[in-house]
Structures are given as structure tokens and as C-alpha cells.
Amino acid sequence: MPPKKSGKQNKKLTIQQERVKADREATQKAIQDKNDHTLLDNEIAEREKVAAAERQEFENKIALTRQIQENFLPRFQKMPKVELHAHLSGSISRKTIEFLMNSDLKRAKQILSKYHLNEPKDMDRVFDTFGIIHEILEKPEALRVATLEMVRDFVKDGCVYLEIRTGPKNTPFMTKETYLKVVVDAVKEAQLEHPQIKVFLVISFDRSLVYEEANELLHLIGKFQLETNVIVGVELGGNPKLSGIHLLSIFQLARRFHGLGVTLHLAELESQTDDVLDYLMMLPDRVGHGTFLHTNPKFVEMMSFYKIPLGEFICSENQNKVFILEICLSSNVYSKTVPSIHDSHFKYWKTKGVPLSICTDDKGVIPGATLTEEYYKAAVAFSLTTADLIQINIDALRSSFAYKYNVTDLRDTWRKIHHNTLE
Ligand SMILES: [Zn+2]
């Protein structure tokens, strides 16, 4: 029989047991912690691996896109293209701005930071960009240079027919009449300098003009039109939040009495389509953007009713009824009226057989939006073949004001487009 333990011995034993228990628990906890950390480390490592793979995939995609662009963009650049919708104030290149700032690169950088959009913005912010450019085009010589450089840029980009849009402004150095004279003379100069491109002017009527101002402008246009063959059409433009219905009769007069082509920025915003039906009823030659035309059955009915089959079947008496939509893919994305190029209304109207033209709108403001890049983006987004792109240019030239109103001989331009050559 073992000797009976005293109370002191029992207490010592309990303390020892507790110590052993505590040590065991500490060891277990350490093992558990180590396991937890290992798990966490593994999880972090796994996530890093996934993130690195995603990064690599993204970089590969960018490299592939760059490679495709490098391989394919020259082909798109060499394609003879028609530009029906390009605003002078939105198409000034970085090089031209630097030149106009007398090589003051600091000032040029400040201007470009306001003029150039880095990401999509709402419509008001897009319109803010034009304020800064109007300031640098206040003087006649700057306006002349900007017009000439815009034409040179388009020539380099493979454009064979260009309609430049601009709205005359009173500046501290020019009246509206002087403004018109400067751009008309600059276009005449460009026509002589670049015989490989047909270039004309479309004069803008801003939605903010009151009727009397618009009427005065129409008289001025009539005067210059009599003297030269440079102004071929008029357009409704400006902030699409404003209705332009008060200017409807100006466009009717421009067509009826001056024989000018009519193109209208319509349905650019879903929230403002008050003037669309009345303007469609006047059968404009062309519609700019028309981003939300397909959302209203009445507009769709109008567009479909007046759509005439193109190609061999067109005849002179109905050709003036053909609507063409001037689609500006990147511009719509950068003014947030469509979420992406894939979501553009281009697809809807193409399926309906409505003729479309691919246009830049404001290549100076919007990054990656030269005419070549817009053709490339359209081809990728909507799986367009070379034959489709040639047809788009044929439709565009057929809807050009110089063709519709017999302003000039376009036989050589037709030949280039049909044979897909700039030579
Ligand atoms: Zn526009």
C-alpha cells in the first residue's frame, strides 16, 4: 500500500499537472497558429498567383491588341475614306496647338489638359472642352492655320472626301463675316494644296442661337455661297440638351432657297427628343449621331419609311430621300451616351439596312479617334469585312453634299473608293 500523500504534496502535484496541461495547450496552440498561418500564407500565395496570371493575361491582351493595331492600322489608313462629320473646333491636333502657342509648351500643355479627354465624361464636361479652343482660334491667322492643319491631318489619315463643320463666332479680332471668309479662304487654299482630297464646309447653327441671329447667319452663308463653291451644307449642332425646334424654318430655307445640304444632330440624348419628329419630317439629308432614334417606334418608322435600297437600284429622283446616319463611335462612348462601342446603335441600324457612315466628330478631344482608328474599331466590334467598309464609304460619298448637289467632279474619288486605293 503506497504511503498516503500529504496535502502539501497533492498541491505540488496539481501545480505540476496544470503546468504540463498549460504547456500542452501552448504547444497545441502554437501548432494550430502555425497551421493557420500556413493556410493563410498558402491562400495569399494562391491569390497572388491568380492575380499574377490575370495581370499576365491582361498584359498579353494589351500586347496582342497593340500587335494587331500595328499590323492592321496601316491597312485601314491606306483605305480611302469619307468623313462627313468632323468639327473644326474639336479636331485640332496636339501638334497644331503647340504650333499655335508659338512653341510655348507649358501653355500648350495647360490647354491640352483641358481640351483632351482622358476618360468618358458627361455631355456638359465634353462641351466645356471647346471653350478653351475657341480662345486660341480668336485671331484670323490661327483660324486659318487650324483649318489647313486639320485638312493635312485628314489627308495623312487616308481621307479622300472631307466636310469640315464650323459655326462662325464674333471674337475680339473677327466678326462672324470675317470668320466665314477666313475659313472659306483656308479651305480654298487647302483644295489647291491637296488635290488628292475633296474638302468642303458645312456651317453650324448652334441650338442656342435665337432666330434672328440664325437668319443673319443664313444670309451671310448665301453671300459666300454665291462667291465660292466651298460651302455645301448647314447643320444643327450645339448642346443637345437644348431644343432646336425654333430653327426648323432656317433649315427649310437653306435647302429651298440656297440649295444647301442639311444635316442635323438629333436624338443625342434620351432626355431631349422634343424636336426629332419635326426635323425628321423635313427629310434631312443626313442625321448626326441619332443615338436614341431606335428607342422611339415613331422615329424608327420614319427612318424605315424613307430608307431606299442603295446600290444599283438608286435613281436620281429618290436619292434625296435617303437618310444616312453619321455614327461617331468613340465620341458616343466618351460623352457617355453609350457604354461601349459594342453597345452602339450602329448594329441596330445596320441590321435594318439603313446606310451608315463612320465619322470622328472631335478627334482632337477624344483619344484614339482618328478616322483610321474609328474604321478599325468598327471593323473589330461589328465584324466588318473590307467589302463592308468599302460599301460604307460608297454610301457616305453618295450622301455627301458635293455629290448630292453636284458641286464638283467626284469621278476620281469614286474610283479610289471602288478600287480601295489612295493612288
Ligand atoms: Zn458632332
Pairing state between β 261-266 and 81-87: unpaired
- Of the residues 83, 149, 268, 326, only one is catalytic, namely 268
Same domain, 361 and 330: yes
Residues 51 and 199 reside in one and the same domain = no
Q: What is the pLDDT of residue 405?
A: 84
For residue 22, is it within any domain? yes
Residue 73 domain-assigned (yes or no): yes
Distance 327 CA to ligand 1 centre (A): 9
Compute the distance from residue 289 Cα to the ligand 1 centre, in Å: 7
Kindly state whether residues 263 and 288 are assigned to the same domain.
Answer: yes
- For ligand 1, the distance from its centroid to the CA atom of residue 75, given in whole angstroms, is 26
What total number of domains does the chain contain?
Answer: 2
Q: CA of 270: how far to CAs of 127, 274, 303, 324, 326, in Å?
A: 17, 10, 17, 20, 18
Domain CATH code at residue 303: 3.20.20.140
Does one domain contain both 173 and 222?
yes
Ligand 1 centroid vs 328 CA: distance in angstroms? 8
Kindly give the confidence (pLDDT) of every residue in the chain, 423 residues in length, as a single tens digit, with 9 standing for 90 and above: 555 556 666 777 678 888 888 888 888 888 888 888 888 888 888 888 888 887 787 777 667 666 766 778 898 999 999 999 999 999 999 999 999 988 778 888 888 888 888 888 877 777 788 888 888 899 999 999 999 999 999 999 999 999 999 999 999 999 999 999 999 999 999 999 999 999 999 999 999 999 999 999 999 999 998 888 899 999 999 999 999 999 999 999 999 989 999 999 999 999 999 999 999 888 888 999 999 999 999 888 887 776 533 333 333 444 445 578 999 999 999 999 999 999 999 999 898 888 899 999 999 999 999 999 999 999 999 999 999 999 999 999 999 999 988 889 999 999 999 999 999
pLDDT at 61: 67
Number of CB atoms found within 10 A of residue 256's CB: 10
82 strand-pairing partners = 161
- Let me know if residue 353 belongs to a domain: yes
Q: Are residues 93 and 39 in the same domain?
A: no
What spacing in Å lies between the alpha carbon of 11 and ligand 1's midpoint?
94
Domain boundary (54, 77, 100) is at 77
What is d(CA 347, CA 290) in angstroms, rounded to the nearest whole number? 13
Q: For residue 65, what pLDDT is reported? A: 67
State which of 77, 112, 136 marks the end of a domain.
77
Instruction: Spell out the SS3 assignment of the chain.
Output: CCCCCCHHHHHHHHHHHHHHHHHHHHHHHHHHHHHHHHHHHHHHHHHHHHHHHHHHHHHHHHHHHHHHHHHHHHHHHCCCEEEEEEEHHHCCCHHHHHHHCCCCHHHHHHHHHHHCCCCCCCHHHHHHHHHHHHHHCCCHHHHHHHHHHHHHHHHHCCEEEEEEEECCCCECCECHHHHHHHHHHHHHHHHHHCCCCEEEEEEEEECCCCHHHHHHHHHHHHHHHHHCCCEEEEEEECCCCCCCHHHHHHHHHHHHHHCCEEEEEECCECCECCCHHHHHHCCCCEEEECCCHHHCHHHHHHHHHCCCCCHHHCCHHHHCCCCEEEECHHHHHHCCCCCCHHHCCHHHHHHHCCCEEECCECCCCCCCCCHHHHHHHHHHHHCCCHHHHHHHHHHHHHCCHHHHCCCCCCHHHHHHHHHCCCC
- Of 77, 103, 119, the one marking the end of a domain is 77
Quote the ligand 1 centre to 286 CA distance (angstroms): 12
CA of 265 to the centre of ligand 1 (A): 7
**Within a domain: residue 1?**
no
Residue at 224 is within a domain: yes
**Ligand 1 center from residue 370 Cα (angstroms):** 14
Q: Which residues of 109-147 are buried (b: 16+ CB within 10 A; e: fewer)?
A: eebbeebebeebeeeeebeebbebbeebbeebebbbbbb
The parent domain of residue 243 ranges over: 81-419
Residue 2 maps to a domain: no
Does 94 lie in the same domain as 53? no
Query: Cβ distance 411 to 397 under 8 Å?
Result: no
Same domain, 401 and 294: yes
> 116, 120, 144: which is closest to 132 by C-alpha?
116
423 is catalytic: no
Cα distance between residue 126 and residue 357, in whole Å? 22
Same domain as 69, residue 93: no
155, β-bridge pairs: none
Residue 3 lies in a domain: no
Residues 95, 124, single domain; the answer is: yes
Q: What is the rounded distance in angstroms from the CA atom of residue 87 to the CA atom of residue 56?
A: 40
Please tell me whether residues 20 and 145 are part of one structural domain: no
How far, in Å, from the CA of 128 to the mean position of ligand 1? Answer: 14
In the reported structure, the alpha carbon of residue 56 is separated from the centroid of ligand 1 by a whole-number distance in angstroms of: 39
Residue 4: inside a domain: no
Query: Does residue 353 share a domain with residue 231?
Result: yes
326 and 395 part of one domain: yes
Ligand 1 centroid to 63 CA: how many Å? 32
